[in-house]
Chains A and B, each alone.
Chain A
Amino acid sequence: MKIASIALRNIFRNKWRSFLSLSAIALVTFTIVFLFAIMEGMKLDQRTTMAKFATGDARIRNAGFEKYQFIAPEEFMIPDYDKAIAALRADPAVETAVGRFQFPAQVAVKWEVIFGMNWPGETNSTLATGLDFSDEKSFFSLASYLVPGGRLPGQGEILVSGGFAKKFNLKPGDSLILYSGGTWGQQDAVLKISGIVALPLAQLNVNSIYMALSAAQNLLLRQGQAEEILIRFKPGVAVGDAVAAVRTALARNGFKDLDVKPWNEIGNAGTFIDLASKIYYFMAFFFFILGTTVIINTTMMVIYERMREIGTLRAMGMTGPEMIRLFFMEAFFIGAAAAFVGVILGSALILPLSVSGVDFGKLIDLGKTNLDISDVIYPQLNLVSTLFVFFYSTAVSSLISFIPTRRAAKIEPVEALRSI
């Protein structure tokens, strides 16, 4: 008679109690599987978002830009960016390469006319981006975010992000005055709003404005220059290899001091997700502690109930470690079954959600937080992390039973036998 099968039968002695323990652990496992799936979803979201809106699959900037962007960004542009783009597009791995110009700007949305001049009361900070609308169509297709009634801007025109438009009650046809500041040189223009873009990324939607790349170049008197070039690789291309190829291609074409970075090495892309995963791991651990108190409690009750049985088994010659194994197995079976149930239920919930998405924008105002995540997250079921949760869940809930069982092993057989 194996200890394991005794343990298994013991589980069914008090079905409701075992069910309760199982439910607690299953619920915890379920929650964690769900949390991890959301986290995976956020990672995926960030990857697509970064690639789509901010970095492309890889981004090229002047090597000094990163370091000096707050002191003298204008000194670290990509000159001859047209030539660079032509060279990049010749690379078979590159689907498209586009130039961009990004600069902070103050924007006045209303003003009075006094003495024949425009007098804005106040200005608001925005992030202005000059980009090539037709070239970016294949990834950052701003046209697809246009609110009906708007169109892409021409010279002297501008697109305003939804959040900004809503805040200041702007609509297509309205005008605004833009002032570039700082070291970019003090430039200004009255621009007409050609359309509103409702961007899925809360942070961008708050205060972004978009204009044609040439309009930005003209405004800042920087014709022929771009701040960055974004590259989109063809599907199936390994980004790491392609980036290396791009570096050599640029060097061969005489471009020096250009820095090519794959999307995942850019900026602080990882930091938020890293922090979130740490918080999630901590939450997971905390949930488990809660869930496992049920296991501890059950095991303790079981030990007191079966005291005379423990005495009998000890009298028959079962040693302390064997005793521990018996109770451990019970917890292990419950834990494993619960983890299995939790993982199955979690996956069953996530699979449809990974298609339909979860709209967090409705739940919290992400615009006010500083997170680079979309409103709608598509939770992702990751085999490795799900397996991890299964094993973790099983391990924690069974290992925790050591706390009460170690005490059971120390009970004197005579004492155990004397109990009723």
Chain B
Amino acid sequence: MVKVNHVVKNYTIGKLEVHALRGVDLEIKDGEFMSIAGPSGSGKTTLLNLIGCLDACTGGDILIDGESIGGKKRDERALLRRRKIGFVFQSFNLIPVLTAYENVAFALSLLKTGPGETRERTMKILEEVGLTGLEKRFPNELSGGQQQRVAVARALVKKPTLVLADEPTANLDSDTGREILKLMEDLNRTHGTTFVFSTHDPMVMDFAHRLVLLHDGAIVSDKAKK
């Protein structure tokens, strides 16, 4: 469970202060399939980065499974991400020198998982994302949708508390995007993994079970849909 307590995030550009988040309160329960939507510049990425422990809040606090991340050092946050948070990026961000299989397995190797278990879990998740037979391909030998499937598998293989996806379909055509969303929804159901994804695409919002609307750094609506 993730609790966002009155989080403020300011950026300073020279002398100018940008208020990216102006006090956001949010509670994400385990197993949610949730979308954060809003116009460009509304603070979606900023919020996901904060929840994902990639950045530190200017004010307020975030608790993941009851653990405050406010006071953590950079490498402590890294270890927290390694265990609990999976990321899916807009432009896939696979490691180009690693095959599909290796990209996924690498997430487990960071957790020092033994070779047998690594193999088993990696093959299983690749099967689940529908990439059986493509394990040995390098990212540049895969289509965008296939790459994003690898990315989803990579995020899920370590059984994280939370998967964060910042505009995961923005670089895909709408059919492929829909397939990816469908896949994430299936995985949310079968694994019970919490998914939080940002978007400004209404089609994507339709998939969400809960929709949080951000505007100018503040939540303007928060609706359960299904």
CB proximity of A52 to chain B, nearest CB, Å: 60
Counting CB contacts under 8 A, is B135 at the interface?
no
28 interchain pairs (CB within 8 A)?
Answer: A1-B98, A1-B102, A1-B109, A2-B109, A6-B97, A6-B98, A6-B106, A9-B97, A9-B98, A308-B93, A309-B95, A312-B87, A312-B89, A312-B93, A312-B95, A313-B95, A314-B78, A315-B81, A316-B81, A316-B107, A316-B154, A317-B79, A317-B82, A318-B78, A319-B78, A320-B75, A413-B54, A413-B55
CB proximity of A314 to chain B, nearest CB, Å: 7
Interface residues in B94-149 by Cβ distance below 8 A to A read: 95-98, 102, 105-107, 109-110
Interface residues on B, range: 20 to 34
Besides the known contacts A312-B93, A413-B55, 5 further A-B residue pairs in the complex with CB atoms under 8 A apart: A309-B93, A315-B54, A317-B78, A318-B110, A414-B54
- Fill in one digit per residue for B67-80: 1 if any A CB lies within 8 Å of its CB, else 0: 00000001100111
Chain A hits for B89, CB < 8 A: 312, 417
CB proximity of B98 to chain A, nearest CB, Å: 6
Residues in A lying within 8 Å of B, measured CB to CB:
1-2, 6, 9-10, 13, 308-309, 311-321, 412-414, 417
Chain B hits for A412, CB < 8 A: 55
The answer on a CB contact under 8 Å between B83 and A317 is yes
Chain A hits for B49, CB < 8 A: 414
Counting CB contacts under 8 A, is B38 at the interface?
no
CB proximity of B155 to chain A, nearest CB, Å: 9
Counting CB contacts under 8 A, is B52 at the interface?
yes
In the complex, residue of chain A having the shortest beta-carbon distance to the beta carbon of B155: A316
Q: How far is the CA of A414 from the CA of B74 in the complex (A)?
A: 12
CB proximity of B11 to chain A, nearest CB, Å: 10
In the complex, residue of chain B having the shortest beta-carbon distance to the beta carbon of A11: B97
Chain B hits for A321, CB < 8 A: 75
In the complex, residue of chain B having the shortest beta-carbon distance to the beta carbon of A309: B95
User: How many pairs of residues, A versus B, come closer than 8 Å at their CB atoms?
Assistant: 67
CB proximity of B86 to chain A, nearest CB, Å: 8
Chain B hits for A1, CB < 8 A: 98, 102, 105-106, 109
CB proximity of A319 to chain B, nearest CB, Å: 4
CB proximity of B154 to chain A, nearest CB, Å: 8
The answer on a CB contact under 8 Å between A319 and B54 is no
Q: How far is the CA of A2 from the CA of B110 in the complex (A)?
A: 9
Chain B hits for A309, CB < 8 A: 93, 95-96
Interface secondary structure of B, over-half rule: helix
The answer on a CB contact under 8 Å between A13 and B97 is yes
Chain B hits for A417, CB < 8 A: 54, 89, 93
- Fill in one digit per residue for B50-61: 1 if any A CB lies within 8 Å of its CB, else 0: 001011000000
Q: Among B55, B79, B106, which residue has its beta carbon within 8 angstroms of that of A319?
A: B79
The answer on a CB contact under 8 Å between B95 and A319 is no
In the complex, residue of chain B having the shortest beta-carbon distance to the beta carbon of A8: B97
Chain A hits for B85, CB < 8 A: 317
CB proximity of B192 to chain A, nearest CB, Å: 21
Q: How far is the CA of A313 from the CA of B78 in the complex (A)?
A: 10
CB proximity of A247 to chain B, nearest CB, Å: 67
The answer on a CB contact under 8 Å between B95 and A320 is no
CB proximity of A411 to chain B, nearest CB, Å: 11
Q: How far is the CA of A127 from the CA of B51 in the complex (A)?
A: 89
Q: How far is the CA of A309 from the CA of B89 in the complex (A)?
A: 12
Q: Among B82, B87, B91, B95, which residue has its beta carbon within 8 angstroms of that of A6?
A: B95
CB proximity of B167 to chain A, nearest CB, Å: 13
Q: Among A10, A318, A320, A414, which residue has its beta carbon within 8 angstroms of that of B55?
A: A414
Chain B hits for A317, CB < 8 A: 78-83, 85, 110
In the complex, residue of chain A having the shortest beta-carbon distance to the beta carbon of B110: A317
Q: How far is the CA of A314 from the CA of B78 in the complex (A)?
A: 7
- Fill in one digit per residue for B183-219: 1 if any A CB lies within 8 Å of its CB, else 0: 0000000000000000000000000000000000000
Chain B hits for A316, CB < 8 A: 81-82, 87, 106-107, 110, 154
In the complex, residue of chain A having the shortest beta-carbon distance to the beta carbon of B166: A417
CB proximity of A160 to chain B, nearest CB, Å: 73
Q: How far is the CA of A6 from the CA of B74 in the complex (A)?
A: 23
The answer on a CB contact under 8 Å between A319 and B98 is no
Chain A hits for B109, CB < 8 A: 1-2
Chain B hits for A315, CB < 8 A: 52, 54, 81, 87
Q: How far is the CA of A13 from the CA of B98 in the complex (A)?
A: 11
CB proximity of B17 to chain A, nearest CB, Å: 18
The answer on a CB contact under 8 Å between B93 and A319 is no
- Fill in one digit per residue for B172-183: 1 if any A CB lies within 8 Å of its CB, else 0: 000000000000
- Fill in one digit per residue for B141-173: 1 if any A CB lies within 8 Å of its CB, else 0: 000000000000010000000000000000000
In the complex, residue of chain B having the shortest beta-carbon distance to the beta carbon of A311: B93
CB proximity of A322 to chain B, nearest CB, Å: 8
Chain B hits for A318, CB < 8 A: 78, 82, 110
Q: How far is the CA of A13 from the CA of B52 in the complex (A)?
A: 30
Known: A1-B109, A6-B95, A417-B54. A319 touches B75 (CB 8 A): yes
Q: How far is the CA of A314 from the CA of B102 in the complex (A)?
A: 17
Q: How far is the CA of A353 from the CA of B34 in the complex (A)?
A: 75
Chain A hits for B95, CB < 8 A: 6, 309, 312-313
5 nearest CB pairs, A to B: A317-B82, A9-B97, A312-B93, A1-B106, A317-B81
CB proximity of A230 to chain B, nearest CB, Å: 67
In the complex, residue of chain A having the shortest beta-carbon distance to the beta carbon of B86: A316
Q: Which of A311, A312, A320 has the most CB of B within 10 A?
A: A312
Q: How far is the CA of A1 from the CA of B113 in the complex (A)?
A: 10
Q: How far is the CA of A315 from the CA of B102 in the complex (A)?
A: 17
Chain A hits for B97, CB < 8 A: 6, 9-10, 13
The answer on a CB contact under 8 Å between A13 and B96 is yes
In the complex, residue of chain A having the shortest beta-carbon distance to the beta carbon of B83: A317
Q: How far is the CA of A112 from the CA of B95 in the complex (A)?
A: 93
